[in-house]
Chains A and B, each alone.
Chain A
Amino acid sequence: MPDLAQLLAAEVPLSWYLILSVILFVIGAAGFLIRRNIITVFMCIELMLNAVNLSFIAFSHKLKMVDGHIYSFFVMVVAAAEAAVGLAIILTVFKNRETLEIDEVSSLKL
């Protein structure tokens, strides 16, 4: 019986994963900088975190160590905590201001 692990024997070089990770990170960063909707900005942060996770796991696979897995696991935990608090903040902002445009929520600006 062909095993999935044998079927997908490691052929793809590490650099491909790193390039993909950079591409995803840049797309996320661009979205973070240019979008006006808070929720979408927040989603772009998740995208960037995800790109970093991918490079962690790629290195971890190359080094045959599981420490990279642990780091990306913690990144996911932090992302979950961040999503819970961040979305609660977004809901409160929407309740008070009736808007989700980042330009208009600027009362902390000088």
Chain B
Amino acid sequence: MTETVFFYCFAALAVAGAILTVTMRNAVHCAISLIASLGGVAGLYLMLHAEFLFAVQIVLYIGGIMVLFLFVIMLVNLEAAARERQFHRSWVGGLLCAGGTGAMLAWFWLRGAGTLRLPPAVQPTPREGGNVESLAMVLFRDYLVPFELASLLLLVAIVGGVMMAKKRI
């Protein structure tokens, strides 16, 4: 019961935030709606016992990426853009494509739900102490190479961002 109520609250927050992100006129309002949506999804992570991902979602997404977005929005003057037409000329086509994607996903899901056989639980997630420890074990033992590659990717992104934004090195 409690969980259902929580699920509905977080899901409503996520969906409402998402809709406002797409429809709001002012870019700052869009960004803040997106933050609300991300916060709702973070709450769902907590319900799914993904405590570490909850923290990463808030620290990295909301506290990092979205601050960067707000920063850029405040740096560029969007007064003129907010007064102009917000949607593309061919917005009907866009909506149709998106709706079609959704319908396709829903159809796949409806057809495939009966045939989905979940394998029996491999290793029970430890309740005590959260899942941070087991996550770290898997991340640094089985996924070490992807982890290092991800750090390399971040380095490339840093260098690229600096090169792009700075006039003269």
Interface residues of A, Cβ cutoff 8 Å to B = 5, 7-12, 15-20, 22-37, 39-40, 42-44, 46-47, 50, 53-54, 57-58, 60-67, 69-70, 72-74, 76-85, 87-92, 94, 99-101, 103
Q: Number of B interface residues at 8 Å Cβ cutoff, please give it.
A: 88
Bound form: Cα–Cα A60–B122 in Å? 11
Bound form: Cα–Cα A62–B69 in Å? 34
Taking CB atoms and an 8 Å cut-off, the chain B residues in 93-150 that contact chain A are: 93-95, 97-99, 101-102, 105-106, 109, 113, 118-119, 121-125, 127, 131, 134-135, 138-139, 143, 146, 150
Q: With A29-B98, A44-B22 as given contacts, are A39 and B73 in contact (CB-CB < 8 Å)?
A: yes
Q: Which secondary structure dominates where chain B touches chain A?
A: helix
Residues of A within 8 A of B91 (CB): 33-34
Task: Output the nearest chain B residue to A28 by Cβ-Cβ distance.
Answer: B18
Other-chain contact of B99, A7, A26, A77 (Cβ < 8 Å) = A26
Task: Output the nearest chain A residue to B11 by Cβ-Cβ distance.
Answer: A20
Which 3 residue pairs are nearest across A and B when measured between Cβ atoms?
A33-B94, A31-B22, A81-B157
